[in-house]
Amino acid sequence: MNALLLILETSRFDARNPLIKEASIFALRNLLEGNLENQRCIGELRMQGVAENPGLADLGMEAVQEGGKLKIVQQDRSRDSPPPEL
pLDDT confidence tier of residue 12, bands split at 50, 70 and 90: confident
Q: Residue 6: which of 19, 23, 24 has the closest Cα?
A: 24
What are the pLDDT digits (tens) for 43-82?
998 878 887 778 888 889 988 888 878 889 998 766 555 5
pTM of the model: 0.58
User: Residue 25 class from Cβ within 10 Å (0-12 exposed, 13-18 middle, 19+ buried)?
Assistant: middle
Q: Is the pLDDT of residue 11 over 70?
A: yes
What are the pLDDT digits (tens) for 14-53?
888 889 889 999 999 999 999 999 999 999 988 788 877 7
Domain residues of the chain, as ranges?
A: 1-45, 50-77
Instruction: Please work out, in degrees rounded to the nearest 5, the angle formed at the alpha carbon of residue 2 by the alpha carbons of 72 and 51.
Output: 20
